Chains A and B, each alone.
Chain A
């Protein structure tokens, strides 16, 4: 058990073909794990796999699971994730993962098989124009047309996926190319190119501005995940409060008094007020997503903006930038830290502390309290993944991260179904670390079949927590706020499975808590179980995530706390209301 292919001693590799050249190239690049799913048009690759035991293939239960697992791997480690699928339906099942990786700048290599070259373009069985389909959601993609080119293309694809602003690259290999004889060289990894140095003029202008700032704030995004030490040193050297975006959580330690939380739609009061009042905003490695900015002309209305970014296309794309600094976050942050000339802003710090004190901890029983109880039990090394919805925003608000790459979620695309497979990928990348995932009852069911992957590979470090509110909660919240409570097609309750029984069907131990009394014991049992385990927490149906900045509003127009609501209804009343609506 635990291996996807036969365990007989490594057979003689014999004559090289395209498929073997593919594995040899991946192995040469240090790829240890590939997530995938076989099929007719990629069978030669799966056949050749049996000759390359140095690469582990993980059979997921759906290609989307393979793509998200590869993303989880990449997000936890910062290294390349690799996924694989057959032509047509296999390839199209990867699409959501590729789009997700594109928006979150995840280094990902996707290998797809395709029908034989002479059949391409004829609407052959299981043919899909996957390079055409993925054109806008990959950094680059290739069809291999000559076996002699295959290893070079794969090596180049890996370089493109990892270099600069990382992203997904797809290599489509027709079946005849996989089978064609290959007698060339297997390439070694390209050296990672140096990033261009930031211009000294822009650095000087940035320093001048920081020196004159009275209310400065630093905002760090996913592009600074690998510059955490430098960003932290910079903030402390200048004594400037730090906001970390959803993608940047962990870049700056949450325990540091300078940390203000997350900005944007469900950002903290302190972060959103600080942005609205700041006179200088130093953005590092971020792209000013609309969920972060709120109404653009109300974003940081008083601030001069310094934007440090590797991807030039992001500078000035959304937000007026006063000082663009094109460069590697690490290099720029180090430079700015070394030239630190802290001005001491006691009034600003006092103001910020007052906002920060407004952070509410959930008191009464609900999704917030449940998420808080779980995240409070995490150790600094634990990896926390989430699915998409209210539970995701609650986790982002309530979890505390002391280091980067411990928080894995689908930020840009907001992909339901991301959580479980991503947690599996992250857990396989770091088998010694607990990989905890928080999911909603809706999103969990989009990729729940990956429980089988846990069983098949006897993965022991994945801890699944389902916040079951019987609703597509986030959509319900919007219907409540913006559609006069017309709860259209968001009620799941009656049709939800018994999650504990579902887990049991896959040999995954299941636990359940229904209230504050049951919760601590259930969490203990769940986390202490020697195996991967599932915990279902049943919470009241209606519960919102606040603070919230409604779409179209500016950050300073945020709703800070949940509006009062009438007493909770019962499940059957809900069902009635839904059917009448």
Chain B
């Protein structure tokens, strides 16, 4: 099985950013396993967490191609540092009068919340890392899973914000915009490691 790699991207919040990034993956044949996007604490900057599958060379190449995009402010390769990651999942499980109690008990063990109660189904909300979510789904599978929806993983590096470039923290939109513009791409790019 091809390994997964977890990347975070800080990107300019401009039209077509998502298209540019997914088109790059599509054109070059890199496989996105999950992608989640949201605003950051700074107006004008969004954050994406992307799970890419492929060998190390593929991920290195994907990062370098991403780095060339004008919209991409920073790339964090979570494989290189400690991080926390989470995923939110909604799982709708079939229930019968006999299974109801057992299903609820399992959900409690996983600290899952019930978000919808029906006569024949319960919908649970689970957050956690991949292992926990997989385990939850496996526990529920025998009862009959009717539907699931996963948000895709999101991740942050642990500890301080030392890896975030200062210009991203330059202040509000007005201060931020010029800061993002003047910083030339070339200066941000990483030194190339010895590839092979």
Contacts and interface: CB of A to CB of B under 8 A. Distances in A.
Contact of B184 (A131, A163, A312): A163
Interface stretch (B34-42, B78-86, B166-174, B187-195): B187-195
Contacts, number: 69
B54 to A, nearest CB: 14
Given A135-B20, A164-B185, A317 B194 contact: no
Given A135-B16, A139-B70, A312 B192 contact: yes
Contact of A316 (B19, B57, B70): B57
Interface in A321-335: 321-324, 326
Contacts of A135: 16, 19-20, 23
Nearest to A145: B15
Contacts of A193: 184, 186-187
A315 B67 CA distance: 14
Interface stretch (B3-11, B58-66, B123-131, B140-148): B58-66
Interface in A141-187: 143, 156, 160, 163-165
A311 interface: yes
A164 B187 CA distance: 10
Given A135-B16, A193-B186, A160 B70 contact: yes
Nearest to A192: B184
B196 A316 contact: yes
B192 A196 contact: no
Nearest to A323: B194
29 contacts: A131-B16, A135-B19, A135-B20, A136-B23, A136-B27, A139-B68, A160-B70, A163-B185, A164-B185, A193-B187, A196-B187, A196-B189, A196-B191, A312-B64, A312-B192, A313-B68, A315-B64, A315-B192, A315-B195, A316-B196, A317-B61, A320-B195, A320-B196, A322-B196, A324-B193, A324-B194, A324-B195, A326-B189, A326-B192
Contacts of B70: 139-140, 160
Contacts of A165: 68
Contacts of A2: none
Contact of B67 (A136, A143, A312): A312
A199 interface: yes
A194 B187 CA distance: 8
Given A313-B67, A315-B195, A324-B194, 14 more contacts: A131-B16, A136-B23, A143-B15, A156-B181, A163-B184, A164-B185, A193-B184, A193-B187, A196-B191, A312-B67, A313-B64, A313-B65, A316-B57, A316-B195
A195 interface: yes
B189 to A, nearest CB: 6
B132 to A, nearest CB: 36
Give the interface centre of B27, B65, B67, B184 by most chain A CB atoms within 10 Å: B184
A231 to B, nearest CB: 20
A320 B68 CA distance: 21
A165 B193 CA distance: 19
Interface string B11-31: 000011001100100010000
B61 A313 contact: yes
A258 to B, nearest CB: 29
Interface residues of B, number: 28
Interface of B: 15-16, 19-20, 23, 27, 57, 60-61, 64-65, 67-70, 181, 184-187, 189-196
Contacts of B68: 139, 165, 311, 313
A40 B171 CA distance: 43
**Contact-size category for A:** 20 to 34
Interface of A: 131-132, 135-136, 139-140, 143, 156, 160, 163-165, 193-196, 199, 310-313, 315-317, 320-324, 326
Nearest to A310: B186
A324 B186 contact: no
A25 to B, nearest CB: 15
8 A-B pairs with least C-beta separation? A316-B195, A193-B184, A313-B64, A140-B70, A326-B192, A324-B192, A312-B192, A312-B64
B19 A132 contact: yes
Contacts of B189: 196, 312, 326
Given A143-B15, A156-B181, A195-B186, A316 B61 contact: yes
Nearest to B20: A135
A156 B70 CA distance: 11
B186 A316 contact: no
Contacts of B190: 312
A143 B16 CA distance: 10
Contacts of A322: 196
A131 B70 CA distance: 14
Contacts of A310: 186
B186 A196 contact: yes
A160 to B, nearest CB: 6
Contacts of A312: 64, 67, 189-190, 192
B52 to A, nearest CB: 15
A164 B196 CA distance: 25
A195 B186 CA distance: 6
